[in-house]
Amino acid sequence: MIYPGTQANDFSASPVPYTKVCVIGAGAWGTALASVARRAGRETALWGRDQATVEAINTRRENPKYLPGIGLPHGICATTDMAEALDGADAVLLVTPSRTLRDICVQMQPHLGKNVPIALCAKGIEAGSGYLLSEVAAQILDGHQIGALSGPTFATETAMGHLTAATVAFQFSYSDRLDTASSPATRLALSLGSEFFRPYITDDLVGVEVSGAIKNVIAIACGMITGAGYAENTRAALIVRGMDEMKTLADVLGGRRETVTGLAGAGDLILTCSSQTSRNMSLGVQLGKGIARENCFEGRPVVVEGEVNSISVMDLARRMNIKLPICESVFRILHQGADVRETFADVWSQPIEGERRGLAISIDHPVAIAAEAIQ
Ligand SMILES: NC(=O)C1=CN([C@@H]2O[C@H](COP(=O)(O)OP(=O)(O)OC[C@H]3O[C@@H](n4cnc5c(N)ncnc54)[C@H](O)[C@@H]3O)[C@@H](O)[C@H]2O)C=CC1
Ligand SMILES: O=C(CO)COP(=O)(O)O
């Protein structure tokens, strides 16, 4: 007799890749992920709402609106017809911005095959409800396993075939633990993996989602201080203190700290807090330089998840009674008109605490003492 939990998993069964991967959302990241699936040898459908973009992908193998000048692999079947895209698909990647998730799930629901797993690739928390995106999807797509794909992945680089690694997260059911070969995380990793794309697997969906939602807010913060003229030391400090905020939220929602220090957390923070290829960091830089929001990106509407998610992250933090000082600073600057330098100076002059949370230390910041001494 085998007692579950006392026996190593049975790896003798080989996982089987999915046959047809359907990508929902033909923006930059959806198109890049369709390229990943196709390069890995999958039958690949790509649903987009814009007829001209779909036609360009099918006829010229290019997405001129979101990935101009980047050649796409042969064989991606793009369509504006949701039923056609999902027909026969045995795995789905959902890649529209976080604010659209609820609507898109409702649109997909009648066309989904039974038990088809869905990996969410947007980064965010639902405004108003404070739900993780997987919770939103699970409410609508009953009977489907919901996971996430996240990590340090600029769409342009992935689409061009530069080596990219990401985390694929699905909560493991009891049977998944006994038979890892048939878990959606394993099968999706196998379905997308190639010499260009390396998926890692985890069962910590909460940790991955929390990391993805917060990292965009921290990237805006790093951009703001860069634009305002702070130096590299400050940015490095902000990245790591930002990671601490990820850990704080992951802790209260049941995610794991090791996930926060993995690809979907630290990996994505390092990428997007260091490069103005990031739309979040780039928005922050422009705001830090004093450019008005409406003039950033030369007036083009661009998806900047951290902007809306600074509201939902702070809303959730208040409900959970936790402090996220960097996220709060971004929220106050973006949505309450606070000044960049004054706001970050305030973060800097908070009482000094133990670097490890829970260490019972709190002393007045020496800057305040020095200011008094020279008066
Ligand atoms: N671009 C990147 O490098 C990466 C983006 N992501 C995430 O992927 C998500 C999507 O981002 P991108 O593809 O970059 O955005 P994008 O701006 O390039 O494209 C957004 C796509 O969503 C579609 N869309 C917008 N509103 C819609 C609606 N109401 N119904 C249906 N479709 C709608 C647009 O037509 C477009 O095809 C975001 O959450 C982003 O954080 C994640 C990793 C990398
Ligand atoms: O999430 C991303 C890379 O992992 C893309 O970041 P931006 O949305 O800031 O461009």
- CB of 158 sitting under 6 A from ligand 2: no
Residue 142 marked as a ligand binder: no
Enclosing domain of residue 74: 20-203
Question: 184 in ligand 2 pocket by Cβ < 6 Å?
Answer: no
Q: Does residue 28 sit in the same domain as residue 170?
A: yes
Query: Tell me, what amino acid is at 322?
Result: I
For the chain, how big is the Rg over CA atoms in Å? 22
Lookup: tokens for 194:
């190639």
Burial of 49 (0-12, 13-18, 19+ CB in 10 A): middle
Examine the domain organization and report whether 181 and 125 are in the same domain.
yes
Same domain membership, residue 254 and residue 173: no
Do 220 and 335 lie in one domain? The reply is yes
The pLDDT of residue 372: 61
Judge whether 8 lies within some domain: no
Instruction: Find out whether the beta carbon of 215 lies less than 6 Å from any atom of ligand 1.
Output: no
Identify the H or E element spanning 76: strand 76-79
- Is 268 touching ligand 2 by the criterion CB < 6 Å? yes
pLDDT category of residue 373 using cuts at 50, 70 and 90: low
Q: Indicate whether residue 26 lines ligand 1 (CB < 6 A).
A: yes
Between the CA of 360 and the centroid of ligand 2 the distance, in Å, is 36
Determine the distance separating the centroid of ligand 1 and the alpha carbon of 113, expressed in angstroms: 24
Residues 191 and 220 in one domain: no
Structural domain tally of the chain?
Answer: 2
7 lies in some domain: no
Q: Residue 5's pLDDT is what?
A: 39
28 is in an annotated binding site: no
Ligand 1 centre distance from Cα of residue 39 (Å): 21
User: Is a pLDDT exceeding 50 seen at residue 8?
Assistant: no
Three-state secondary-structure class, residue 334:
helix
Q: Point out which residues pair with 118 in neighbouring strands.
A: 92, 146
Q: What is the best residue among 50, 67, 96 to mutate for testing ligand 1's pocket, by most ligand atoms within 8 Å of CB?
A: 96
Span 231-276, pLDDT tens digits: 999 999 999 999 999 999 999 999 999 999 999 999 999 999 999 9
98 lines ligand 2 (CB under 6 A): no
At 215, list the tokens: 């990292």
Substitution candidate for ligand 2 out of 133, 167, 216 with most atoms within 8 A of CB: 216
359 within domain boundaries:
no
363 lies in a domain?
no
List the end-to-end C-alpha distance of the chain, in Å, as a whole number.
78
Residue 29 among known ligand-binding residues: yes
Question: Does 32 lie in the same domain as 169?
Answer: yes
Residue 132: pLDDT over 90: yes
- Residue 180 shares a structural domain with residue 253: no
Measured distance CA(81)–CA(101) in Å, rounded: 18
Place of tokens 């940790």: 207
Active site residues: 215
Strand, helix or coil at 351? Answer: coil
Confidence bin at 369 (pLDDT 50/70/90): low
Q: Is the pLDDT of residue 12 over 80?
A: no
How big, in percent rounded to 5, are the helix, strand and coil portions of the chain? 50, 15, 35
* Portion of the chain with pLDDT greater than 70, in percent: 94
Q: How confident is the model at residue 367 (pLDDT cuts 50, 70, 90)?
A: low
Query: What value of ipTM does the predicted structure carry?
Result: 0.99
Q: Between residues 175 and 350, which one has the greater pLDDT?
A: 350
The phi and psi torsions of 200 (rounded to 5 degrees) equal -110, 155
* Domain CATH code at residue 89: 3.40.50.720
Would residue 69 count as lying in a domain? yes
Same domain, 193 and 241: no
- Residue 361 Cα to ligand 2 midpoint, Å, equals 36
Q: Is 303 annotated as a binding residue?
A: yes
Per-residue burial over 263-272, b = 16 or more CB atoms within 10 Å of its CB, e = otherwise: bbbbbbbbbb
